[in-house]
Amino acid sequence: MLFLLFFSTGVLAQDWPSKPVRWLVPFAPGGPADVVARIVAAGLAERTGQPNPVENQAGASGNIAHAAAGRAAPDGHTLVFVVPAVITNPFYMKAAVDPFRDLAPVIHLDNASMVLLANPAFPPTNVQEVISFVKANPGKATCGASGALPSVGCELLRASAGADLLMVTYKGNAPALNALMGGEINLLFDVVNTAVGHVKSGRVRAIASTAPKRGIGPLSELPVMAETIPGFDLVTWHGVMVSPGTPPPLVERVNRELNAVLQSTEVKQRFAASGLQITGGAPAEFGAVLKRDYEKYGAALRSAGVKPE
């Protein structure tokens, strides 16, 4: 019986995909994460000869798409595109999908640094000046909280200042960025590839990168947050997950195909142009990233007093 089980799952892996591969993307169309998902989906469609339709299921910080993927048939034909919200959501909402029980890792696609942005009219020009301003003006400085790592960044900055930095919640970084440019908020953590054009146009001011060291990606000339706040490390990523009951041989087949997509010349060029560092690797390696960041950001959020609601 055990032999038959392994044989059948092996056949499933060999025959995959036997129909279109559905991608669930927890963001509105046109945003930076949606663009990345569509690049990878198109690459997988080209490799396999099967359509890879993308369904945008925005809302609840990605929890809607995460839950739908968890309920999907465990046959590798429904993939969910994930960002760190998949591991930070449980710290914000009681109804969040458990990333370790309700989903299974397939691949870690890439890493991307973030950048602390300010409205040009906001007086501070460096991290130390931001901290000093927040301390001197408790409850007056504002930071855009748009889910996942932008919110974690605000929490870490508030903890470093030891004073009240007001968190203003937005449904995504696009409206938060518009609010920053319009002067509704003072500060925002955003992905560097989204921010770079607005920085160069002068519509926002870049204060520091969240990269581990200087010289990484676009805006490489910026100082890094850790130079002022030791241990400040905020690197976002993109990945792919599936229903938790998907057989390991099938997960490994999907993983191999996606690793191959990441090695194509076109994907490498498009990722590099967006400031994304390709990672790839095995499902277990992505699982380790999920566990590491769950513990790291969870500790930061708990120390900041964040509780699920």
Q: If you average pLDDT over every residue of the chain, what do you get?
A: 91
> Is residue 93's pLDDT more than 60?
yes
* Residue 302, token pair as written in the block: 């708990």
Q: How many Å from the N-terminal Cα to the C-terminal Cα in the chain?
A: 46
Buried residues in 93-123 as b, exposed as e (16+ CB within 10 A):
eeebbebeebbbbbbbbbbbbbbbbbbeebe
Domains present along the chain, CATH in parentheses: 2-112+235-303 (3.40.190.150), 113-227 (3.40.190.10)
* Residue 25, token pair as written in the block: 């993307």
Buried residues in 230-243 as b, exposed as e (16+ CB within 10 A):
eebebbbbbbbbbb
* The residue type at 212: P
* Residue 167, token pair as written in the block: 């968190």
Kindly state the DSSP code that residue 241 receives in the 8-state scheme: E
- Alpha-carbon gap, residue 279 to 107, rounded angstroms: 9
User: pTM for the whole thing?
Assistant: 0.86
pLDDT interval class at 216 (50, 70, 90): low
Over residues 258-280, mean pLDDT: 94
pLDDT in tens, 166-181: 989 887 778 899 999 9
Q: Which of 231, 279, 289 is nearest to 255 (CA)?
A: 279
pLDDT in tens, 102-155: 999 999 999 988 999 999 999 999 999 999 999 999 889 999 987 678 888 998
